[in-house]
Amino acid sequence: MRKFVFFGGKGGVGKTTISSAYAVKCARAGIRTLLVSTDPAHSTRDVFDQTFTDDPSPVDGEKNLDAMEIDPETEVREHLMETKRAMGDQVSPAMVNEIDRQLEMAHQTPGAHESALFDRFIDVMRSSDDYDRVVFDTSPTGGTLRLLSLPVHLDGWIQRLLHKRKQSVKLFERAAIGNNEPRRMMDGDPIIARLEQRRDDFTFAKETLQADAAFFLVVNPDELSIRETKRAVEQLDSYGLDVRGLAVNRLTPEPDPDEEGRGATFLRNRVETERERLRELREDLSPPLVAAIETRVAEVKGDFLGEVADELDVEIELKIT
Amino acid sequence: MTLAARIESFRKLAAEWLRGLYHGMISHPAYEKIETQAEDHEDAFMLACFPDAFGIPSPVSYYTAELLPFLEDEFEAWERRMWDRGSLLERKGHQYHF
């Protein structure tokens, strides 16, 4: 199994349960594991009955497991503060207002949360030497897919900006003949340095995601969830990402054969349709089903987690490379 | 004054005039042209960085925002150039001396 494992899927299908169970399973097998939650709703704290912060902290009662929760809102705010601080050092008071408006606007754009999350992802992936496995519990499908497609799209954009900037600086240098000081210089240009750093980040993310990450999609046995999963698999494939399997959650338990009555008939009918859907999943989609987990009566917490973990037929061994 | 000295001083004068003529006719407009060309490239760069200033959403505005503190001069100059530009043609027209 690869080092970075992502769990994704439609909202409310039980991603947190499955990813927590997987993390617990890895930890109990003696692998140093970090569980990262990126869902703003943060249900990890409910699963483990414990609060987590932005920094990895040990999970009570699990020896090899740490967990952290990333809040995109906080990340965006921090980025804004940092940029404003840089502005205070660089910009003359007359221009501050003008630029301030532009800054605030940039942090309100739809992509801001995703970009902030993405930066943190890169951070976590870069500084994960303490762990043998990092499990990401991601936000619902749409957001995650956009997030993972970021390096592919942004890489091209940043390259273009870099190219334009270099072109103009080169011309400014040429225009300064004789003893004239060029208006911009290639050496030590903070813009080029920044853009290059960003480009390196994106390249790192792209390579790591393609070479060292595995993806699992959590599905419920209902029409909508299955359709969304199909789309997700296609998209992930097209980004060159490795979808290892599907985990089906919330299957209806089958009643005993001697049971009659409305409840039992209802359950039997449901099981029948779900079986049909499972068959559809197996036949239409290439990633194999790695888990089929029945609905639990109570919320999955503490001890239950171990039970769910046992049902996960996902390989946990570290690949020694 | 000997003939040699007179020729010498004449040559100096001619060299100076020629240099001035060359500077005025060829090289000076050339610097200017290169500089305006550079400015044009910079405008394109700024536009690609901050299209949301014109209401066009940009996929990377979150990232380009952190460039702003270092782009003070460029930003101001860019805005000024945007103001007094009637059309792209007008600005390009300035670059040629008819």
Q: What is the pLDDT of residues A257-306, one digit of tens each?
A: 888 888 888 889 888 898 888 888 888 888 887 777 878 766 666 666 77
Rounded average pLDDT over A168-179 = 80
- Domain limits of chain A? 4-152+213-311
A4-152+213-311 belongs to which CATH class? alpha beta
The gap from C-alpha B50 to its chain's centroid, in whole angstroms, comes to: 22
A34-38, A84-88, B85-89: range with highest mean pLDDT: A34-38
Chain B residues in contact with A96 (beta carbon < 8 A): none
Burial class from Cβ neighbours inside 10 Å (0-12, 13-18, 19+) for residue A189 reads middle
Beta carbons within 10 angstroms of residue A88's beta carbon: 11
Q: How far apart (Å, rounded) are the C-alpha atoms in residues A25 and A18?
A: 10
Q: How far apart (Å, rounded) are the C-alpha atoms in residues A168 and A173?
A: 9
Asked whether the predicted pLDDT for residue A190 surpasses 70, the reply is: yes
> What is the amino acid identity at position A83?
T
Chain B residues in contact with A87 (beta carbon < 8 A): 68-69
Burial class from Cβ neighbours inside 10 Å (0-12, 13-18, 19+) for residue B57 reads exposed
| pLDDT recorded at residue A299 | 64
> What angle do the packed helices A262-284 and A223-238 form, to 10 degrees?
20
The per-residue pLDDT of chain A, averaged, comes to 83
Chain A residues in contact with B26 (beta carbon < 8 A): none
Please identify which residue in the block is written with the tokens 């200017």: B32
- Domain limits of chain B? 3-96
CA distance B8 to chain A (A): 26
Q: How far apart (Å, rounded) are the C-alpha atoms in residues A297 and B65?
A: 49
Tell me the two tokens of residue A17.
Answer: 């349960």
Q: How far apart (Å, rounded) are the C-alpha atoms in residues A158 and B61?
A: 11
| pLDDT recorded at residue A319 | 47
Burial class from Cβ neighbours inside 10 Å (0-12, 13-18, 19+) for residue B89 reads exposed
DSSP annotation string for A257-321: TT--SHHHHHHHHHHHHHHHHHHHHHHH-SSPEEEEEEPPSS---HHHHHHHHHH-----PPPP-
Rounded average pLDDT over A14-19 = 86
Measured CA to CA in angstroms, residue A296 lies from A42, A89, A252, A307 at distances of 20, 56, 9, 11
The closest CB to that of A90, out of B48, B50, B72, belongs to B72
ipTM: 0.71
> What is the amino acid identity at position B18?
L
In three-state form (DSSP H/G/I as H, E/B as E, the rest C), the secondary structure along A38-71 is CCCCCCHHHHHCCCCCCCCEECCCCCCEEEEECC
Residues A25-54, buried b or exposed e (16+ Cβ, 10 A)?
A: bbbbeebbbbbbbbbeebbbeebbeeebee
Q: How far apart (Å, rounded) are the C-alpha atoms in residues A263 and A287?
A: 34
The gap from C-alpha A43 to its chain's centroid, in whole angstroms, comes to: 15
Q: What is the pLDDT of residues B17-26, one digit of tens each?
A: 998 888 888 7
| pLDDT recorded at residue A177 | 67
| For testing contact with chain A, the best of B68, B75, B81 (most A CBs within 10 A) | B68
- Of A10, A4, A7, A14, nearest to A46 by C-alpha is A14
3-state SS, residue A33: strand
**Do B75 and A112 count as a contact with CB atoms less than 8 A apart?**
no
Please identify which residue in the block is written with the tokens 């704290």: A45
Rounded average pLDDT over A108-131 = 86
